[in-house]
Amino acid sequence: MMEFDSVTMSRMLTSLTLAFHIIFATIGVGVPLMISIAEFIGIKKKDANYTLLARRWTRGFVITVAVGVVTGTAIGLQLSLLWPSFMQVAGNVISLPLFLETFAFFFEAIFLGAYLYTWDRFNNPIYHWLFSIPVVIGAGMSAFFITTVNSFMNTPQGFELEGRTITDIDPLEAMFNPATPTKVFHVLSSSYLTSAAILAAITAFIILKKKSSNYHKKALKLTMIATFFFAILTAIAGDLSAKFLADEQPEKLAAGEWHFETEKGADLILFGTLNENNEVENEIRLPNALSFLSHGDFNSEVVGLDQFPEEETPPLWIHYMFDLMVMLGMYALGVSFLYIVLSKLKRWSEHNKWLLWLIVLNGPFAMLAIEFGWIFAEVGRQPWILRGYMKVSEGATTSPHVDWMFLLFLGLYILLGVISVSVLRKLFSDNPAEVELEHRYPEVDQRGVDV
């Protein structure tokens, strides 16, 4: 591995850290909302099943938070260690949201501590529930602030750059750049979707493996309705993101869609391959659909890659990332819709074995969609680290030791991944929900007639 230069190695190490961190960051943003909803329903319906649900989710959640915190610290420091020149510029222009993100996280951490240790401390359970609100808000705000930084890298504004001198800085303009609204919307909705999908997948898996109980059925219903709702929001966010790209960052959309020539009534290409002349083969072609996706009009003009110098366009393989992300998003929408339909129909059971398996698959699929989406977003910005101003190769460290650091972190993430999974499994298999429900809330009738 010694033949790679420090730019390539810095990119690899950053990708590694982000790919690992994003799993925990997504859960960290989405799961508090699910916990808060479950606890609230439990209080309103006076149903201990939901309260226990919130309790058990929280217990698993802290493990993932811990990994999220430490990998978040890692990426925070690695930005400076691996991209010192970039951070020197970025520090001048975009450090405000970075700084605010720390505040948001601090706020969240304080109240998460309070939430964790005060379950039975108040006579009125609503006080305990109130502690979940700052956790949800803090998590959402962290996501918001850090996403503005990523947006800034895509559509930088709010400064003038001459050589290495930066003037005319406007931190708010930098923060609220054109990419911010759609990106934040997309990040938040997809985090909520993925968290709900994962919780649903775990629940469905338990129902398949053991005898299903009231507790698990209620959990599945809650998480599947949430999945459906957030899948719709994510689809809207995705559509708005495509329209944003068409207007502000057309080379990313064009590379993602294999749209080579600027034209009106552009076709949407699904999957396919490229031959040696960069011609698309084996694709599924939806006539005029790219124009519609880009501007809401089947005959509108869509800018193609021909408008950009070749060395300033991203690699074409991101097309597959885009398609996979969209397919998996649609899968989540479809499965959750199917669940809801079957639960309404008297003739069918929503706890059909096949449907449950589809729900189980939806969990990892949703997380994969997050990964593919981020790969598309990051690689789609290449060769820029700060679009139009600084290339990735200009931002990296010149230290020759990044390769060893890559191995060090690879080892760390493997270790953390393996141990956190085994700790989580042990945490719940040693203490099944039925046993805990019986133990904590003996008054609840578990065989329970349907509520």
Partner 1 sequence: MSYELVGITVLWIFLYGYLIVASIDFGAGFFAYYAKQTKQDHIINKIISRYLSPVWEVTNVFFVFFFVGLIGFFPDTAYYFGQTLLIPGSIAIVLLAIRGSFYAFENYGSKQSSVYMFLYGATGLFIPASLATALTISEGGFIEETSNGVRLLTGELLTSPYSWSVVFLAIVSVLFISSAFLTFYANRANDKPAMELVRKYMIFWSSPTIIASLTTFIAMSQHNHRHFEKMLDLWWMFGLSVAFFLGAVFLVYQRKRLGLAFIFVMFQFFFAFFGYGAGHLPYLLEPYITLQSSVTNDTMGLALVIAFIAGLCLLIPSLILLMRMFLFDADYVKGNK
Interacting positions 382-421 with partner 1 (CB under 8 A): 397-399, 401-402, 404-405, 408-409, 412, 415-416, 419-420
Q: Tell the smallest beta-carbon distance from residue 118 to partner 1 (Å).
A: 7
Interacting positions 423-442 with partner 1 (CB under 8 A): 423-424, 426-427, 430-431
Interacting positions 15-34 with partner 1 (CB under 8 A): none
**Contact stretch for partner 1 (CB under 8 A) within 74-82, 182-190, 292-300, 354-362:** 74-82
**Contact stretch for partner 1 (CB under 8 A) within 80-88, 122-130, 333-341, 345-353:** 80-88
**Contact stretch for partner 1 (CB under 8 A) within 100-108, 214-222, 226-234, 435-443:** 100-108
Question: SS3 of 267, please?
Answer: coil
Options 19, 41, 43, 87; binder of partner 1; rule CB under 8 A: 87
Interacting positions 137-166 with partner 1 (CB under 8 A): 166
Q: In the numeric block, which tokens belong to residue 224? A: 């599947």
Helices (H), ranges, 83-124: 84-116
Question: SS3 of 166, please?
Answer: strand
By CB under 8 A, the count of residues binding partner 1 is: 76
Q: Can you tell me the distance from the alpha carbon of 317 to that of 434, in angstroms, rounded to the nearest whole number?
A: 48
Specify whether the CB–CB gap between 43 and 129 falls below 8 A: yes
Q: Tell the smallest beta-carbon distance from residue 443 to partner 1 (Å).
A: 23
Which residues, listed in sequence order, are joined to residue 268 by a DSSP beta bridge?
A: 286
Where in 256-316 does DSSP place strands (E)? 263-264, 268-270, 273-274, 280-281, 284-286, 301-302
Q: Tell the smallest beta-carbon distance from residue 24 to partner 1 (Å).
A: 10
132 counts as binding partner 1 under rule CB under 8 A: no
Interacting positions 280-319 with partner 1 (CB under 8 A): none
Which residues lie closer than 8 Å to 92 by C-beta, 6 or more apart?
Answer: 159, 166, 169
Q: Tell the smallest beta-carbon distance from residue 191 to partner 1 (Å).
A: 20
Residue with tokens 């939430």: 115
85 counts as binding partner 1 under rule CB under 8 A: yes
Count how many Cα atoms sit within 13 Å of the Cα of residue 354 in the half-sphere of its side chain. Answer: 3
Interacting positions 181-220 with partner 1 (CB under 8 A): none
Count Cβ neighbours within 10 Å for each residue of 16-28 and write b for 16 or more, e otherwise: bbbebbbbbbbbb
Whichever of 73 and 307 has its CB closer to partner 1, that residue is 73
Q: Tell the smallest beta-carbon distance from residue 393 to partner 1 (Å).
A: 14
Which residues lie closer than 8 Å to 313 by C-beta, 6 or more apart?
Answer: 251, 254, 255, 305
